[in-house]
Amino acid sequence: MTKILKKSNTKAEEINKFSKIKPLLSQNEAVIEASRCLFCHDAPCINACPTSIDIPMFIRQIITKNIKGSAKTILTQNILGKACGQVCPTEVLCEGACVYNEMNEKPIDIGRLQAFATDHVIKNNIRLFTKGKPTGKKVAVVGGGPAGLSCAHELTRLGHEVVVYEANSSAGGLNTYGVAPYKYTNKDSQEEVKYISEIGFEIKANNRLDTKKLSELEKKYDAIFLAVGLGKSNKLNISGENLKGVYGAAEFIHELREKEQKITVGKNIIVIGAGNTAIDAAVETSKLNADVTVVYRRTEKEQRAYFFEVDLAKQNGIKFMYLTTPLEIIGKEKVEALKCIKNKLIEKNGSKPEIEPIKGSEFIIPCEMIIAAVGQEKMTDFYKEISNLKIDNGKIVVNKDFQTSNPQYFAGGDCVNGGKEVVNAVSHGRDAARGIDKFLKG
Amino acid sequence: MANLESDFAGIKSPNPFWLASAPPTNTGYQVMNAFKAGWGGAVWKTLGQPIVNVSSRYGALAYKNNKMMGLNNIELITDRSLEINLQEMKEVKEKFPHHALIASMMFETKEEWHDCIKRCEDIGVDGFELNYGCPHGMCERGMGSAVGQNPDVCEKITSWVTEKATKPVIVKLTPNITDITKPALAAQRGGASAVSLINTINSVTGINLDTMEPNPSVAGLSTHGGYCGPAVKPIALNMVSELTKHPDFKLPISGIGGVETWQDAVEFFLMGASTVQVCTAVMHYGFKIVTDLTEGTNEYLDSHNMKSIADLRGIVANKLKKWEELDLNYKVIAHIDPEKCIGCQLCYIACEDGAHQSIALVPGNRIPVIKEDHCVGCNLCSLVCPVENCISMVKIETGKPKLLWKDHPKNPSKQASKV
Ligand SMILES: Cc1cc2nc3c(=O)[nH]c(=O)nc-3n(C[C@H](O)[C@H](O)[C@H](O)COP(=O)(O)OP(=O)(O)OC[C@H]3O[C@@H](n4cnc5c(N)ncnc54)[C@H](O)[C@@H]3O)c2cc1C
Ligand SMILES: Cc1cc2nc3c(=O)[nH]c(=O)nc-3n(C[C@H](O)[C@H](O)[C@H](O)COP(=O)(O)O)c2cc1C
Ligand code: SF4
């Protein structure tokens, strides 16, 4: 073969380090992939999807080129179906459940098929849902992330008047300011938010609600849905944390997303923690040409990041330093190094092994930047101001209708589950809308 | 949104998608689940004198990854008692009064036909379908396709039924015949209100090469069965078109044979059917597929600014002509889109070895080139190309007027008349 034909869907877009790792499928690719689907009965993929999308059905509709119908099948269950198609950890959700895995065959590329079908209706602004018959009831949604948007959309379909209050200058929540840009871009997120809100609810951006505003809302609205997500990044609680060059992962990624990756970072970067956010921060900075080391107290076995995320990090040349605890950040004004100590794990009859520092094993890694990715705070200060709101471990407590202990308030998403995936937030939002509807009509 | 409600020879249903008389309509349980899933009507598994079935019963033609592009069966009519069937049909009708419930029947004597018609009408069926189609088991007993293949018998038995029935009578035709219009016109003369076609086609799906037994094997032996599924659609579409075009044939048509997607259904409508019936696709994928049938059809109607199936019905049938009526000066040639080409060269080898040697390879380039002055416009390359819209057939302006065979210089009779 003398001439190699290399075709790519990203032809139109400029290929760069932040190009999509799961690019959109063309119709041709989508139909070929869809044709592999067996149309299982009581399909395991449906059960594995937190929003229970009828996956075999939407795939069948792609085969019959009923792309609009396919998108409707998806969006009826999950109005953020496009984002989910691109950001969901499908390897552990739908695709992980595909029966093809049982015969060591590649599972159906469900996420990308989902993104393909939903992109069609978003790009062409094909409207699938309409505002319900007005009920005369008003609902305020606090937070315009996946949970808030999903709830607002469903409430609007049910005929309620909805206003979404969003602190940031644009909505989308972590789809806009959190998830990795090689999964979902600002433009993707903004287009999706616009498409969703055009059913007929208002988004008031740049509107961070405080106690005063909240008590006004209580008078104006029949119900309030809290979808505020999580708070700031947790501190490391070691000395030197206030030096220049030390970032919390959530704040760093927020800035990166806001500036669309047009930021400069240090040459040597240490990311502390080994959850999915840590991996994201590591991969993103390595794509900005940094040498990145992930430092984690325990071992590969205990790290919370998904195996495929760790693989991605390794492909990007990121080094992992396990059994290492940071002790102190060294530097005058700016970070210069991180002092660490080596650990060993002590097994204690079945329970999680305990960390024991190895005396005298301290060492220093020079670096210009440190990103702390050791979890996020909960918005407890904000919750305190709401009367009678029951909180457990920083998470808002709700019943099966997503109603809180203060009957006017409902809640869902990360602020209820403590931080899971976009798809879980969408599912909460949708079901909470039905709970609110029941409450308002009740 | 278009209106999919259907009135077929007086039988009303919420949509024109019916289950064909076959295993999916064996029981009330199944039919009720089907109606819940969105099917508009059901033709009950053929009622008749008690029979017994063999085991095994089905064979399939697999093609590449598709396990069942053709299905064949050696099953007979219902193996349940008439009483039980009628009891369940009654329940279905009570729970789903607005869905179409049609009793399929196959009997020998006039008395048996009359008795069953009365009992079915008593429980409120919406119509009858006469099974003149079954190509195995029943015809040996003088029923099924033995009736459908003999227009006189077909007419006689139809008239037995229509003299008694007060509800519409559909005659289901067998495709195992040379000229489908003959039994269809016989049914019309016999007073039928509609026809449905096709029933299954005589077939043997294959042989198990390990055991050297034909499929499906019943203790090492088999019998010819009835073929259906996606593979039979082209045959069914042709037969439907023949009826639509026949000047003397006036009855509405229920199209059957290989309907699986909304595209299949729309094709049957365009060819002249008013409803479609489905068996194999449901046996393969379950009742759920009706969602896509209704939605896709609706979408198609909307996108063509059409209000109902009636706007589609038959508008393509009249575009099927005799070969002699086609323009011999119309010319297309293949065009390969180099942007889309993936370099598989399937078109090249197909044309080189199997057609007209009109595609060339250029050294150093995987993308083949059409020899435009050689290409006869047969379509083969565009059919084998795996990439959608990569090879298109482009119309060439010949500047010549329409030319029919009767006027063609190579026509021997024309040359003869010249002399
Ligand atoms: C770095 C990172 C990467 C991630 N990657 C993925 C991924 O690849 N795939 C995946 O499925 N999930 C991922 N997640 C998780 C996912 O983003 C969240 O589970 C999901 O966004 C939660 O949705 P939410 O609506 O509950 O909260 P959020 O998305 O956090 O939205 C909350 C919104 O509320 C607003 N808000 C907060 N307080 C107020 C207030 N007082 N007044 C007004 N507005 C307020 C915020 O500005 C924000 O827009 C990631 C998370 C992080 C942090
Ligand atoms: C297993 C099986 C049993 C069938 N039994 C009957 C029957 O009892 N009566 C009848 O009229 N047609 C019967 N048919 C034919 C179907 O109703 C239908 O005409 C045929 O299968 C073509 O449609 P399809 O391609 O959608 O399957 C049967 C078909 C199959 C596969
Ligand atoms: S489908 Fe399988 S399980 Fe069901 S009756 Fe047939 S052979 Fe038995």
- Mean pLDDT for each consecutive 10-residue tract of chain B (419 residues)? 95 98 98 98 95 94 89 94 97 98 94 96 98 72 79 94 97 95 97 97 95 96 95 98 98 98 98 98 97 96 96 96 96 95 92 96 94 96 92 95 95 72
The pLDDT of A66-79, averaged and rounded, is 97
In this predicted structure, what is the pLDDT of residue B56? Answer: 95
**Residue A357: pLDDT band by 50, 70, 90 thresholds?**
very high
In this predicted structure, what is the pLDDT of residue A60? Answer: 96
Would strands B6-8 and B11-13 be described as parallel, antiparallel, or unpaired?
A: antiparallel
Q: How far apart are CA B38 and CA B295, in angstroms?
A: 11
A229 lines ligand 1 (CB under 6 A): yes
Task: Name the residue among A245, A265, A340 with its Cα closest to residue A295.
Answer: A340
In this predicted structure, what is the pLDDT of residue A103? Answer: 85
HSE-CB at A440 with a 13 A cutoff on CA atoms is 24
User: Is residue B418 included in any domain, yes or no?
Assistant: no
Q: How far is B58 from chain A (nearest CA, A)?
A: 20
In this predicted structure, what is the pLDDT of residue A351? Answer: 79
Domain count, chain B: 2
Chains A, B: CB contacts within 8 A come to: 54
In this predicted structure, what is the pLDDT of residue B145? Answer: 73
Looking at the fold, whether B182 and B117 belong to one and the same domain comes out as yes
Range of the domain at B226: 6-319
Looking at the fold, whether B138 and B268 belong to one and the same domain comes out as yes
User: Is residue B151 included in any domain, yes or no?
Assistant: yes
In this predicted structure, what is the pLDDT of residue B415? Answer: 65
Q: How far is B355 from chain A (nearest CA, A)?
A: 25
Chain A residues touching residue B343 (CB < 8 angstroms): 1, 3, 5
Q: Which of A174, A398, A416 most suits a substitution to test ligand 1, by most atoms within 8 Å of the C-beta? A: A174
Residues 6+ apart with CB under 8 A from B138: B48, B76, B77, B106, B131, B144, B145, B146
User: Is residue B285 included in any domain, yes or no?
Assistant: yes
What is the token pair recorded at A293?
Answer: 């080391």
A237: left (phi over 0), alpha (psi -120 to 50) or beta: left
In this predicted structure, what is the pLDDT of residue B134? Answer: 65
Looking at the fold, whether B305 and B341 belong to one and the same domain comes out as no
Domain with residue B383: its CATH number is 3.30.70.20
- How far lies A209's CA from each of A141, A385, B389, in Å? 11, 11, 53
Nearest to A57 among B288, B343, B363 (CB): B288
Domain A23-123, CATH number (from 3.30.210.10, 1.10.1060.10, 2.40.50.1070, 1.10.760.10): 1.10.1060.10
A277 lines ligand 1 (CB under 6 A): yes
What is the token pair recorded at B40?
Answer: 């508009």
Q: Matching CATH topology for A138-231+377-441 and A246-372?
A: yes
User: Is residue B419 included in any domain, yes or no?
Assistant: no
User: Whole-prediction pTM value?
Assistant: 0.86
Q: What is the 3-state secondary structure (H, E, C) of chain B?
A: CCECCEEECCEEECCCEEECCCHHHCCHHHHHHHHHHCCCEEEEEEEECCCCCCCCCEEEEEECCEEEEEEEECCCCCCCCHHHHHHHHHHHHHHCCCCEEEEEEECCCHHHHHHHHHHHHHCCCCEEEEECCCCCCCHHHCCCHHHHCCHHHHHHHHHHHHHHCCCCEEEECCCCCCCCHHHHHHHHHCCCCEEEECCCEEECCCEECCCCEECCCECCECCCEEEECHHHHHHHHHHHHHHHHCCCCCCCEEEECCCCCHHHHHHHHHCCEEEEEECHHHHHHCHHHHHHHHHHHHHHHHHCCCCEHHHHCCCCHHHCCCHHHCCCCCCEEEEECCCCCCCCCHHHHHHHHHCCCCEEEECCEEEEEECCCCCCCCCHHHHHCCCCCCEEEEECCCCCCCCCHHHCCCCHHHHHHHC
Fold for A138-231+377-441, please state it.
Answer: FAD/NAD(P)-binding domain (3.50.50)
In this predicted structure, what is the pLDDT of residue B50? Answer: 85
Q: Where are the domains of chain A?
A: 23-123, 138-231+377-441, 246-372
Looking at the fold, whether B305 and B362 belong to one and the same domain comes out as no
Looking at the fold, whether B341 and B254 belong to one and the same domain comes out as no
For B284, nearest residue in chain A (alpha carbons): A39
**Residue A85: pLDDT band by 50, 70, 90 thresholds?**
very high
Residues in B whose CB is inside 8 Å of some CB of A read 65, 261-263, 285-286, 288-289, 291-292, 295-296, 299, 341-343, 363-367, 387-388
Looking at the fold, whether B43 and B118 belong to one and the same domain comes out as yes
Q: Is the pLDDT of residue A375 over 90?
A: yes
For residue A252, which amino acid is it? Answer: F
Task: Name the residue among A391, A442, A386 with its Cα closest to residue A409.
Answer: A386
Mark whether B134 is an active-site residue: yes
**Residue A349: pLDDT band by 50, 70, 90 thresholds?**
confident
Looking at the fold, whether B231 and B368 belong to one and the same domain comes out as no
Domain with residue B139: its CATH number is 3.20.20.70
**What's the gap in Å between A108 CA and the centre of ligand 3?**
27
- CB-based contact B364 A2, cutoff 8 Å: yes
Contact between B104 and B45 under an 8 Å Cβ cutoff? The reply is yes
Q: Helix, strand or coil for residue A122?
A: helix
In this predicted structure, what is the pLDDT of residue A15? Answer: 67
Chain A residues touching residue B267 (CB < 8 angstroms): none
Residue A10 φ then ψ, to 5°: -85, 10
In this predicted structure, what is the pLDDT of residue A10? Answer: 45
Looking at the fold, whether B221 and B361 belong to one and the same domain comes out as no
Chain A residues touching residue B261 (CB < 8 angstroms): 63-64
Looking at the fold, whether B293 and B331 belong to one and the same domain comes out as no
Show the ligand 2 pocket: residues with CB < 6 angstroms: B 20-23, 45-46, 71, 73, 75, 77, 104, 131, 133, 172, 199-200, 226, 228-229, 232, 256-259, 278-281
Looking at the fold, whether B155 and B190 belong to one and the same domain comes out as yes
Q: Is the pLDDT of residue A391 over 60?
A: yes
Token pair 């029966």 is found at: A99
In this predicted structure, what is the pLDDT of residue B408? Answer: 94
* Ligand nearest to the CA of residue A231, numbered in listed order: 1
**What's the gap in Å between B56 CA and the centre of ligand 3?**
10
Residues 6+ apart with CB under 8 A from B383: none
Smallest CA separation from ligand 2 atom 3, residue: B22
**What's the gap in Å between B21 CA and the centre of ligand 2?**
6
Q: How far apart are CA B369 and CA B381, in angstroms?
A: 12
**What's the gap in Å between A60 CA and the centre of ligand 2?**
24
Looking at the fold, whether B264 and B387 belong to one and the same domain comes out as no
Nearest to B388 among A27, A39, A68 (CB): A27
Residue ranges of the alpha helices (H) in A10-49? Answer: 27-34, 44-48
Nearest to A69 among B65, B263, B292 (CB): B292
Q: How far is A26 from chain B (nearest CA, A)?
A: 11
Residues in A whose CB is inside 8 Å of some CB of B read 1-3, 5, 7, 27-28, 31, 35-36, 39, 41, 57, 60-61, 63-66, 68-69, 72-73
User: Is residue B175 included in any domain, yes or no?
Assistant: yes
> Could you report the predicted ipTM of this complex, rounded to two decimals?
0.77
Final residue of a structural domain among B319, B334, B358: B319
What is the token pair recorded at B144?
Answer: 């099924």
**Residue A5: pLDDT band by 50, 70, 90 thresholds?**
low
Q: Is the peptide bond before B56 cis (omega within 30 degrees of 0)?
A: yes
In this predicted structure, what is the pLDDT of residue B373? Answer: 95
User: Is residue B413 included in any domain, yes or no?
Assistant: no
Residues 6+ apart with CB under 8 A from A410: A151, A223, A224, A225, A226, A398, A401, A402, A403, A404, A432, A435, A436, A439
Q: How far apart are CA A61 and CA A113, in angstroms?
A: 11
Q: How far apart are CA A49 and CA B210, in angstroms?
A: 43
**What's the gap in Å between B330 CA and the centre of ligand 3?**
53
Nearest to B263 among A7, A64, A68 (CB): A64
Task: Name the residue among B314, B310, B312 with its Cα closest to residue B6.
Answer: B310
B45: left (phi over 0), alpha (psi -120 to 50) or beta: beta
A425 lines ligand 1 (CB under 6 A): yes
Decide: residue B121, CB within 10 A, 0-12 exposed, 13-18 middle, 19+ buried: middle
Handedness of CA A262, A265, A269, A272 (dihedral sign): negative
Final residue of a structural domain among B272, B287, B319: B319
Output B147 or A201, whichever has higher pLDDT.
A201
Burial B58-83 (b: 16+ CB within 10 A, else e): bbbbeeeeeebbbbbbbbbbbeeebe
Task: Please identify which of the residues B116, B134, B154, B375 carries the catalytic annotation.
Answer: B134
For A59, nearest residue in chain B (alpha carbons): B292
**Residue A11: pLDDT band by 50, 70, 90 thresholds?**
very low
Contact between B267 and B8 under an 8 Å Cβ cutoff? The reply is no
Most A CBs within 10 A among B280, B290, B291, B391, hence the mutation to make, goes to B291
Chain B residues touching residue A57 (CB < 8 angstroms): 288, 291-292
* Ligand nearest to the CA of residue B70, numbered in listed order: 2
Chain B residues touching residue A63 (CB < 8 angstroms): 261
Q: How far apart are CA A420 and CA A418, in angstroms?
A: 7
Looking at the fold, whether B330 and B181 belong to one and the same domain comes out as no
In this predicted structure, what is the pLDDT of residue A1? Answer: 35
- The dihedral over CA atoms of B234, B236, B238, B242, expressed in degrees to the nearest 10, equals 180
User: Is residue B359 included in any domain, yes or no?
Assistant: yes
- CB-based contact B388 A36, cutoff 8 Å: no
CATH superfamily of A246-372: FAD/NAD(P)-binding domain (3.50.50.60)
Final residue of a structural domain among B255, B284, B319: B319
Q: How far apart are CA B10 and CA B167, in angstroms?
A: 8
